[in-house]
Amino acid sequence: MVRDAALCETIWPDEVIINNAGGAEITEVIATNANCGNNDGTITITATGGTAPLEYSIDGGLSWSSVNIFTGLIPGTYNIVVRDAALCATIWPDEVIINNAGGAEITEVIATNTNCGNNDGTITITATGGTAPLEYSIDGGLSWSALNVFTGLLPGTYSIVVRDAALCATLWPDEVIINNAGGVTISGVMVTDGTCGEANGTISITAVGNMLQFSITNGASWQDDPFFGNLSAGSYTVQVRDAFNCISVWPDALIIQSEPGPVIVNLEINDASNGLANGEVNIVANGGLEPLEYQVDSFGWQAASQFSGLAVGTHTAWVRDANGCIYSGMFIVGNVLVNEVEVSADTVEYCMNFPVVIPVDVENFVDIVEFTVVIRFDPTVLSFINLINIHPGLAGGVFSYSLSQTLDTLSIRYSIANNSATVPGNAELFGLNFAALAPGNSEINWVSSQSVIYASAGYVVPRLLINGRALIFPAPNISAAGAGTYCEGDSTLLDITSNDAQELAYLWAGPSGFSSTLQDLEFPSLRLSDAGTYTLIATNSDGCPQTIPMTLEVNPKPWLNLAEADTLCAGTPHMLDAGPGYESYLWQDGSVIQSRTESDAGIYTVQVVNSYGCTGESTVWLIPCSLELIMPNAFTPNGDGRNDIFRPVLLGDVTPSRFFMQIYNKWGELIYETNDYGAGWDGTVKGSPAPSSVYVYVITFEVPGYINTTTVNPVRGSISLIR
């Protein structure tokens, strides 16, 4: 048996026998089984050699017999030993098993090892024969189970026995060994803390096992290297696993600490004056391991935190502690001009389609008699026009300005004679008026070497020139069509096109409070009230607008009727008059007269044009038309489908525009009436058949005036009902 540091044990499956050299030689051992647990088994031992007499043992040498045949044996395992007179013992290498004859036969025993020393080993026994049911034992028969599968087993040696219902026991000849698979031992860990507040701590792990992996994140991540570097301050849980996924956990959490380095908490700056190298800084730092050292711009370390003689500009301050931890910070030494005039060009944003005005502001502009200032700009973006918004405090002086040949440099000169100029407070001195040439960004930079200001006392005044900037955004580039003069009823489309594919928002405003956010305005049929100016504001994503007014003039259209109706009866003369006052007349046959009299059937159309050039049209149809009523004098409402209904028979091309029929009996009682000339009377009164008799009808009707009819209205007569 072998055991590792994790107490995982491995057992050699066979016993190892050391014999006495020169003793007796066991040549044969014959065993006969017992019958169903009776003590009638036998063992016969055959041995030669050695010093006579020989003795024999079947219990491993606990007891001896001079007889080589043992009888009355019960089922079990026997260990054979033979010794001679010189006490040299010879051990038979195999255990001798006496089984119960007639019992079950064990055909197979399968064992699985445990993992990492856990009680998860198994033994499965397969047996046949015997008297059912069978029982199984893995402890040599001390305990029994009706199940042939044993689970939850620890590493160790197990003796297999199967017995049947007649208690005939069968022993498996070999011991079954369950070994332990895998195992990891962590022998040590080493921790180094971080320094300077940085993630530079380390953990190194020492462990024993097969194909190990290491984790300091409680198993969240693994690596093959037992060394972990660049670790932040914090708590870490160490685990190691082997190829069998056996995991060993270091019992204590590992704490990495990191001593913070120094930190600059403040930089106390005194700016330089008038451009001299006389700026100062005091570095205020804390933390880290004392003593601290200081440095500015890599000029050497010193114990003092105060530095002087600094030029205008950007500098770097450093602090270092006794551990060598370094911290740095940037700072700027400004320039303070004593009694200086501050001249600043504003930063502005404009759209392409607007004038660009850049205010030039001044502060401390007092008692000035002359100045020259020079600026540069981008001539591809801006084109200088003139100066505007000149401060009243400059009244009495003279301005002049000039552009360089490259059109990118503007020189502005001012002087005042016999006086001086003062602009109180912080105010606009003048405005630079530019035209925008293209979208873009133009810096407005002062040329310091060419810019000078003079006080009335004749000395040059210190000045601070602050640059500006003009950001020019593209304007919408749109074209419009559809405006103009139209006639009432015409259609038009106020069509807007974005010529450079910009995404635009549209807002229309028009007559009578009209508004719309559509790109195009469609007028399928213009009304007089649609006339007026429609103003479009198109705005791009930069907020730049373009405004386009579009005017619609809507002139009235002629409205005319040739006659009192558009359909008249042919055969009767009709005056067709288009009316006076039009510029021109044109009939369907090409005539150009105002009116005409017609009686022939046909379609008559006239087109007129008024003084606005608008066209109107009217059409009259002359058609043949007549209406006659024929009244039957008898009907037979007997349901045979012939002559069952009394109604008038209409002859002609038209139907009455109004119709009313009444039926009276011979006593003058109204028994039926209708205003539907197609309905008729079916010969019933209140749902019952009327008797055969003579009845009186009265019919009134109306037709349009152009209808020809010879029927006298109303129509009266009698009808005979025959049954």
228-247: pLDDT as tens digits: 999 998 999 999 998 878 88
User: Could you give the number of structural domains in the chain?
Assistant: 8
Q: What angle do CA 402, 408, 412 make, to 5 degrees?
A: 30
pLDDT band at 705 (very low <50, low <70, confident <90, very high): low
Residues 6+ apart with CB under 8 A from 547: 535, 536, 537, 538
Same domain, yes or no: 646 and 611: no
Highest mean pLDDT among 154-163, 184-193, 335-344, 391-400: 391-400
- Domain stops at, among 32, 65, 100: 100
Indicate whether 7 pLDDT > 70.
no
User: Is the pTM higher than 0.75?
Assistant: no
DSSP per residue, 28-90: EEEEE-EETT-S-EEEEEEEE-SSSSPEEESBSSSS-BS-SEEEEEPSEEEB-EEE-TT--EE
Question: Tens digits of per-residue pLDDT, 167-205?
Answer: 888 889 889 998 776 678 788 999 998 888 888 899 999
Contact criterion met (CB below 8 Å) for 449 and 414: no
For 127-161, how does the pLDDT look when each residue is reduced to its tens digit (9 = 90+)?
998 889 999 999 999 999 999 999 989 888 999 99
221 — phi, psi (to 5°)? -145, 155
Query: Is residue 561 in a domain?
Result: no
Query: Both 126 and 59 in a single domain?
Result: no
Let me know whether 298 and 421 are in one domain.
no
| 125 CB-near residues (< 8 Å, 6+ apart) | 106, 108, 109, 136, 138, 148, 149, 150, 160, 162, 172
**Cβ 58 vs Cβ 79: under 8 Å:** yes
- Specify the pLDDT at position 200: 87
Q: Are residues 437 and 468 in the same domain?
A: yes
Residue of 385, 356, 345, 383 lying closest to 471 (CA atoms): 356
Q: Which residue is listed with tokens 């009694």?
A: 339
For 513, phi and psi rounded to 5 degrees? 75, 15
Spatial distance between the Cα atoms of 489 and 473, rounded to a whole number of angstroms = 42
Phi, psi of 528 (to 5 degrees): -60, -35
Confidence at 510, pLDDT banded by 50, 70, 90: very high
DSSP helix/strand/coil, 448: helix
Is 562 part of any domain? no
Residues 6+ positions from 364 with CB-CB distance below 8 Å = 339, 340, 341, 342
Q: For residues 433 and 386, what is the distance between their CA atoms, to the nearest angstrom? A: 5
Distance CA 704, CA 702 (A): 7
Where are the extended beta strands (E) located within 194-246? 194-195, 201-208, 213-215, 227-231, 234-236, 239-241
First to last CA, the chain: 135
Residue 183 gets the label, from left (phi > 0), alpha (psi -120 to 50) or beta, of: left
Assess if residue 28 is contained within a domain.
Answer: yes
What type of residue sits at position 189? V
Do 345 and 469 belong together in one domain? Answer: yes
Please answer whether residues 487 and 552 qualify as being in contact, where contact means their C-beta atoms are separated by less than 8 angstroms: no
Buried b (16+ CB within 10 A) or exposed e, 119-139: ebbebebebebbeeebbbbbe
Same domain, residue pair 236 and 277 = no
> Do the domain assignments include residue 7?
yes
CB atoms under 10 Å from CB of 304, counted, come to 9
CA dihedral 382, 384, 388, 389 (to 10 degrees): 40
Nearest to residue 92, comparing CAs of 159, 172, 25? 25
CA 138 – CA 163 distance, rounded (Å): 12
The confidence score (pLDDT) of residue 505 equals 96
Per DSSP, what are the bridge partners of residue 256?
Answer: 234
Q: Which of 135, 142, 67 is nearest to 106 (CA)?
A: 135
pLDDT at 6 over 70: no
Q: Is the pLDDT of residue 703 over 80?
A: no
If one compares 386 and 8, the residue with the highest pLDDT of the two is 386
345 within a domain of the structure (yes/no)? yes
Q: Same domain for 176 and 192?
A: no
**Of 378, 513, 366, 371, which is closest to residue 436 (Cα–Cα)?**
378
Give Cα separations from 523 to 547, 550, 572 (angstroms).
Answer: 21, 13, 43
Q: Looking at residue 75, what is its pLDDT?
A: 79
Q: 379 with 438: CB under 8 angstroms?
A: no
Please indicate, yes or no, if residue 686 is contained in any of the structural domains: yes
List phi, psi (to 5°) of 338. -80, 125
Retrieve residue 596's tokens: 């005409």
Closest of 308, 196, 203 to residue 254, by C-alpha: 203
Cβ atoms 555, 612 nearer than 8 A: yes
The token duo for 597 is 């009299």
Report percent pLDDT > 70 for the chain. Answer: 94
Q: Which residue has the higher pLDDT, 233 or 650?
A: 233
**Token representation of residue 230:** 């660049």
Distance between CA atoms of 170 and 130, rounded to whole angstroms?
10
Q: Dihedral through CA 218, CA 224, CA 227, CA 231, nearest 10?
A: -50
- Residue 560 domain flag: no
Mean pLDDT, all residues of the chain:
90
Which residue has 């649609």 as its token pair? 530
CA–CA dist 205, 218 (Å, integer): 14
Domain closes at, from 416, 445, 473: 473
As given in the structure block, the two tokens for residue 423 are 């602009």
Strands 545-555 vs 484-487: parallel, antiparallel or unpaired: parallel
394 φ/ψ angles, rounded to the nearest 5 degrees: -95, 5
**For residue 589, what are the contacts with CB-CB under 8 A and spacing of at least 6?**
none
Average pLDDT over residues 574-592: 95
Domain final position from 603, 623, 643: 623
Out of 81-90, 115-124, 303-312, 369-378, pick the least confident.
115-124
Asked if 485 and 550 sit in the same domain, the reply is yes
Residue 555: CA atoms inside 13 Å, Cβ hemisphere, count?
Answer: 13
Range of the domain at 291: 268-336
pLDDT at 213: 93
Same domain (yes/no): 174, 196: no
The verdict on 324 and 377 lying in the same domain is no
* Shared-domain flag, residues 247 and 328: no
Residues 152 and 168 in one domain: yes
CATH of the domain at 127: 2.60.40.10
CA separation for the pair 472, 136 (Å, rounded): 97
pLDDT at position 457 over 90: no
Quote helix, strand, coil % in the chain, to nearest 5: 0, 55, 45
- Which secondary-structure segment (H or E) carries 575? strand 574-577
Query: Any residues with CB less than 8 A from the CB of 100 and at least 6 apart, and which?
Result: 33, 34, 35, 36, 37, 75, 163, 167, 168, 169, 170
Q: What is the pLDDT of residues 594-633, one digit of tens each?
A: 999 998 889 999 999 999 999 999 999 988 777 778 899 9
Q: pLDDT tens, 212-231?
A: 999 999 989 999 999 999 99
Per the CB < 8 A criterion, the answer to whether 696 and 714 are in contact is no
The CATH number linked to 430 is 2.60.40.680
Residue 392's SS3 state is helix
Specify the 3-state DSSP secondary structure of 592: coil
pLDDT of 242 reads: 85
CATH number of the domain residue 43 falls in: 2.60.40
| ω into 392 cis (within 30 of 0) | no
Work out the average pLDDT over 65-71.
Answer: 94
Kindly provide the b/e burial profile for residues 377-400, where b requires at least 16 CB atoms within 10 angstroms of the residue's own CB: bbbebbebeebeeebebbeebeee
The tokens of 340 are what?
Answer: 């200086």
- Interior CA angle at 321 toward 317 and 326, to 5°? 45
The SS3 call for residue 445 is strand
Does residue 464 sit within a domain? Answer: yes
